[in-house]
Structure 1
Amino acid sequence: MEKREFTASLVAGGCAGMCVDLTLFPLDTIKTRLQSQQGFTKAGGFRGIYAGVPSAAIGSFPNAAAFFVTYESTKSMLGAHGALSAPHMAPVTHMLGASLGEVVACLIRVPTEVVKQRTQASLSSNTYQVLLATLREEVGRHHNPSILQYLFFHSLHMFHACVCIQTVCVWCVFPNTYLVFVQGVRGLYRGYKSTVLREIPFSLVQFPLWEYLKTQWSWRQGHTLYSWQAAVCGAFAGGIAAFVTTPLDVAKTRIMLAKAGTSTASGNIPLVLLDVWKTRGLTGLFSGSIPRVTSISLGGFIFLGAYEKVRRTLL
């Protein structure tokens, strides 16, 4: 993969991510509240549907950029030579590229998603307050409460003051407070496994289907697709992938919203799905599917259409 292609994928992916996340944020809030354990109304209903948007805005660009750089690099590397370079093996290449892309992107996506969803489901708190509460909750499970308050807030003030200083310097000067902060960060990665296990099946459906639809449409009309046509393909692929992976999304949402120390917070997806099945049945497993499919279909149109447009412009 050439440097120019790398840069184009990086910038195009980041721009596409910001466009789709900020445009469709209200639908995402409604979906999160429908899937929350406390129920739609108690989680806020239709009130404050932009709660948590700062977290989404911060994570959108690097998250999508990381995904597309990994996706395009994997496609380029695997498709250059060897058994996977054959045309009939293209879907396998797309699946591998999408899977690796999700694993990398989720390292950025999960912390912002945890804060965003907790803010969406708790109207009484803003993004900053939810971040503090998430860190404090996880730290409290590993440290003596009598010294926790001092260490936590001391580390927080230190973090704000030294946000531009490299991590190694912070650790050398404040080793104890740094350790407490790291313990708290674990809470931000709750749901990482469930998110990856949801996103990989989603991408295994969406991206090979998107590439296939583009190839077929291009072949039928005899020339490369316009950006809006690639966007239409993205809408269909995204909608189908969204529906079949809704149960995994329900499990991921419940795990992220769960309080530390509960059985749900352990991240056991089969147990969470079994609990949903017992309490709410098939309806519960597919709760939020309508806003999810609607959101991701529109998202696929905006996200993949914007990506194609920006990438082609840069190339």
Structure 2
Amino acid sequence: MSGLEPGFLVALASGGCAGVSVDIVLFPLDTLKTRLQSSQGFLRAGSFRGIYSGLLPVVLGSAPTAGLFFGAYEITKKFGSEYVSHSYMPFVHMGAATVGEMTACLVRNPVEVVKQRAQTNPKLNSVAVFKETFKSEGSYGFYRGYISLLLREIPFSFIQFPIWELLKKVWSDRQSGNVNPFQSALCGATAGGISAAITTPLDVAKTRIMLAEQGSKTADGNIFYVIQDVWHTNGFKGLYAGIVPRVMWITIGGAIFFGAYEKTKNVLIKMKNQE
């Protein structure tokens, strides 16, 4: 594991850099995944046209979202590690990831709403989607699907971060030294791919809720109803719609995300120590 422990501001800046990097590079895969999961179908949702639709809110939201997550994650992990024995650290990582997600989703949810509506309606740009959402649904519209987003993100992070931390520890122990950013990136890619595959049904439900017509039962945000509805309508295939681009996106994204995070964190800490 890395021997450099970041403070809140370092984690905030490092997470912001990592979030922007991965979201810009892998945005087209996310667009294809969203269109595959849309209830209107891949072709009507835009197929391969305008695969960068919805990029603006992602660029604006990536830094604060990822920054807030890692800031909350690192502080909570540091606090928990002072009171929990080493053998129970996976539970600390789970708790830290939960706090991080609850914080980050306050920014991520509005970004997701605008992004996904722009991705499935290439005729409208992000600004137009933002205005239309606010006009028709008010501020509440930007938090449509917040609970379903948390129900997707928290289980995802419950799986991803303990695996990432465990893989780093095993690698660190075997080489008798801290993992470097490249090694951390490989650990992140593995953890991300596993987590993405397992939580795809939750992601499908979250996408359906955010894209649902206002006033429909799906738009109410009951994730269990939506999963059941997808199962009855499209079966197992429907619950795992978009799994290939999702796993690809998060596996590659995990490598970029965690690699960029560790690299930026190490650079910032070394700069701080040299002052």
How many percent identity over aligned positions?
54
CA deviation digits over 1:138-178, x for unaligned, max 9? 1xxxxxxxxxxxxxxxxxxxxxxxxxxxxxxxxxxxxxxxx
**Aligned pair partner of 1:280 in 230, 234, 244:** 234
**Aligned pair partner of 1:62 in 61, 64, 79:** 64
Per the normalisation by structure 1, the TM-score is 0.83
Contact 2:6 2:74 in 1 (8 A): no
Q: Is the counterpart of residue 215 in structure 1 residue 169 in structure 2?
A: yes
**Aligned pair partner of 1:194 in 141, 148, 157:** 148
CA deviation digits over 1:8-48, x for unaligned, max 9? 10110000000001110000000000000100000000000
- 1:33 equivalent in structure 2: 35
- 1:239 equivalent in structure 2: 193
- 2:262 equivalent in structure 1: 308
Q: Distance in 1 between matches of 2:43 and 2:260?
A: 34
Amino acid across the alignment from 1:12: S
**Aligned pair partner of 1:228 in 176, 182, 186:** 182
Amino acid across the alignment from 1:314: L
Task: Look up the SS of the partner of 1:60 in the other structure.
Answer: helix
Deviation at 1:136, TM superposition (A): 1.7
1:1-315 equivalence runs, <5 A: 5-80=7-82, 82=83, 84=84, 86-138=85-137, 184-315=138-269
- 1:151 equivalent in structure 2: none
CA deviation digits over 1:171-192, x for unaligned, max 9? xxxxxxxxxxxxx010000010
Q: Distance in 2 between matches of 1:275 and 1:6?
A: 42
Deviation at 1:78, TM superposition (A): 1.1
Q: Distance in 1 between matches of 2:42 and 2:230?
A: 15
Amino acid across the alignment from 1:253: T
Q: Distance in 2 between matches of 1:226 and 1:75?
A: 20
Deviation at 1:303, TM superposition (A): 0.3
Question: Over alpha carbons, which structure has the higher Rg?
Answer: 1
Contact 2:38 2:120 in 1 (8 A): yes
Amino acid across the alignment from 1:88: S
Report the count of equivalent residues.
265
Gapped regions of structure 1 (runs ≥ 5): 139-183
Gapped regions of structure 2 (runs ≥ 5): 270-275
CA deviation digits over 1:227-284, x for unaligned, max 9? 1000000000000000000000000000000111110000011110111001110000
Deviation at 1:209, TM superposition (A): 0.3
Q: Distance in 2 between matches of 1:42 and 1:58?
A: 27
CA deviation digits over 1:201-233, x for unaligned, max 9? 000000000000000011111111111000000
Amino acid across the alignment from 2:63: F
CA RMSD of aligned residues (A): 1.0
Amino acid across the alignment from 2:45: A
Residues 96 and 4 of structure 1: CA distance in aligned 2, closer, same or farther (over 3 Å): closer
Per the normalisation by structure 2, the TM-score is 0.95
Amino acid across the alignment from 2:176: G
Runs of 4 or more above 2 Å deviation: none
